[in-house]
Each structure stands twice: as structure tokens, then as C-alpha cells.
Amino acid sequence: MPYRARFGRKMECVSLPPLSNFAICGGTHGNELTGVYILREMQKHNVEKVGSVSITTVLSNPRAVDACRRYTDRDLNRCFTDDLLSSPITESTPYELRRAQELNAHLGPKGSEEAVDLLCDMHNTTSNMGLCIIFNSADWLILHICKYLQSKITSMPVRALQMDLPLSEAFSVDSLGKHGFSFEIGPQPHGVLRADVFNTMKEAVDLTIEWLQQFNSGRTFEGGEVEAYTRWKTVHYPRDPTTDEITAAIHPQLQDNDFKLLQPGDPIFLSLSGETVKHEGDALYPVFVNECAYYEQKIAYHLTQKSTLTLPSINVKKD
């Protein structure tokens, strides 16, 4: 596996540079309202520095937020690959691609020394995912933040989801930071603000800032284990071969059962004429089950593998 770090054996304490610059983004998808309102609150209270940490708040896609839509021309959170960030801007360049390059100049450049130390992007899902921390490749620092949030947050399950992509192919805004991840919380309908989801997101952001301060002030975070789900494959809806229209819905027994092991033979779809479609192949964990935003690509859910990652202790490098 192309991990950035090596897992699976006891390691000594690893010292990492301090994390002075923290960027928090929301409204990357304009109809995912929790992040938009968290940012407004932070901006209203001029949250720019907490102890040793400078905080930059960024409304990623203001045009989509104004329209309360996921995006206007194309999905902003798929625009941060190396290829797209270096593509020439012309009159016909979609708004979101221009915006991605602006954000890269502001928060990155991606992969450079000038990039923000940590970038966290706030999302919502219509799926029953609880609080999910999504990152591109295994990173001890992010896994330590996951472990910290898991030990503190009790209002929802807290899980780690790894995309397993090399940095050049990582397409999400959080890939601009030296370290980056997304908070994905649901279920919440897009265009809607729920207090329970807002409170958990707020708690997760506050705890992340608290963790950064403790890390910068010299606390050693003990190693241990974190369970992580790794994206494995995508499952599409059954479709009419002639019209390409969806012909089945998520089966009631799968609906709301994100992260519950799907065994061969378990029902996955209920066709509109009443037939049950069953899961075939390996037992895997479904995520993003019946996510509203994935209908345009006719994606029903993703399947993941669960593994346990062993982390070293970490602390800040002193010079």
C-alpha cells in the first residue's frame, strides 16, 4: 500500500514541525450549510488567532453558497489535482476551476513549503455517516487528531476514511495544506441546517484547535491504534439499458446502515417493480449510502475495507 508513513510495528516517538497556520474552509459545496454557518460565526467573532495557532477562515465557493447549490459550473472539490491546478485559464474556464487556482495561490501552493500547515474543510452528507474524517493518504498527524476526537466526542460516532490517493491525484481542497482532511457529517439534507449536526461540527473544530495548541506547546501524544476505512470500490444504481434511468432504490435494509459490514447475499437494492438485488463478492463496509449529490453520477454508495493502523507517539520538533 502506498502509505506515506509505515505502519504495523511499534515505533519510537516521531517529532514533527510546529503547526502555526490552520486554514478552515466551508461552503466548498454551496448547499452544505453547517460549514457555511460555522465560518460566519467564526468571522463574526474575529477568530484569527487562538494561542499559538493563526486561523484563516475561507468560504471556498461563494457563488455556489449564494445560489445554495453544490456548484455552479463544476464540482469545486474535484478541481485540485496537479493537472487541473496547472491548466491554463481561458475565457471558457469554468468558475470553479478559476476559484481552485485562486485558493491554491492563497492556501498553497499545493505541495510547497508556503502551504498552510493544516487545512480542514467542512462538508455534510445526506448519508448516515456520523462524523467522518476523510483524508487522502495516511498521515500520523491526522490520525492522531482522529484519535483525539474519538476520545472526546460522544454525540456521534467518529470514524476515519482514507481515500488512498497520491498527492498529485488528490482532488479535494484539503490537499492544498501540508496536512489536510475533511469533516463529513450527516445525515443532513443539503440546503438545511440541523442543530445537532452544527453542534458536533463546532465541537470537532474547537477540539482540533485545542489539539493543535497542545501539540505546539510540547505535549507528547501517545501512540496506539486507530481503525480506518479505505475506499475500495464504487457501486452504481441499476439502470435501464435503453434510457440509462435508475431502476431501483437503496434497499431499506441498507438505508442508513453506513459502516455496517455488508455480507454476500445481503440486500442492497429494491427495484421499482419490487425485486431485491443482493450484494455479491467480498464482505465490505458501505459508506455514502444514498448520498443526494451522487445521483448525477448514478453512484449508490462506496465500499471500503476496514483496517487497524498502528501509530507512533508524536510531539513537536524543537530547534
Residues marked active site are found at 184
Least distance between Zn ion and beta carbon 294 (Å): 11
Nearer to Zn ion, 32 or 117 (CB): 32
Confirm or deny that 279 is annotated as ligand binding: no
Q: DSSP letters of the chain?
A: ---SS--SS----EEE----EEEEEE-SSTT-HHHHHHHHHHHHTT--EETTEEEEEEES-HHHHHHTSS-SSS-GGG--SHHHHTSPP-TT--HHHHHHHHHHHHH--TTSTTS-SEEEEEEE-SSS-EEEEEESS--HHHHHHHHHHHHH--SS-EEEEE----GGG--SGGGGSSEEEEEEEES--TT---HHHHHHHHHHHHHHHHHHHHHHTTPPBP-EEEEEEEEEEEEEPPB-TTT--B-EEE-TTTTT-TTSPBPTT-EEEEETTS-EEE--SS-BEEESTT-GGGGGGTEEEEEEEEEEEEE--EEEPP-
Nearer to Zn ion, 29 or 251 (CB): 29
Least distance between Zn ion and beta carbon 74 (Å): 14
Q: How many binding residues for Zn ion (CB under 5 A)?
A: 3
- Applying CB under 5 A, which part among 9-17, 119-127, 192-200, 254-262 lies near Zn ion? 119-127
x/- track of binding to Zn ion for residues 18-57 (CB under 5 A): -----------x--x-------------------------
Least distance between Zn ion and beta carbon 119 (Å): 15
d(CA 30, CA 122): 11
- Applying CB under 5 A, which part among 81-89, 117-125, 141-149, 260-268 lies near Zn ion? 117-125
Question: Cell match 504495523: residue?
Answer: 8
Question: What does the chain come to in residues?
Answer: 319
Window 214 to 273, contacts with Zn ion (CB under 5 A)? none
Q: Is 304 left (phi over 0), alpha (psi -120 to 50) or beta?
A: beta
Is residue 110 a contact residue for Zn ion (CB under 5 A)?
no
Is residue 123 a contact residue for Zn ion (CB under 5 A)?
yes
Confirm or deny that 45 is annotated as ligand binding: no
Least distance between Zn ion and beta carbon 184 (Å): 7
Tell me the three cell numbers of residue 246: 435508475
Cis peptide before 166 (omega within 30 of 0): no
Confirm or deny that 32 is annotated as ligand binding: yes
Nearer to Zn ion, 132 or 262 (CB): 132
d(CA 188, CA 71): 18
Least distance between Zn ion and beta carbon 33 (Å): 11
Least distance between Zn ion and beta carbon 97 (Å): 17
Is residue 190 a contact residue for Zn ion (CB under 5 A)?
no
Q: Which residues are annotated as a binding site?
A: 29, 32, 123
Residue numbers at the binding site for Zn ion (CB under 5 A): 29, 32, 123
Annotated binding-site residues for Zn(2+) read 29, 32, 123
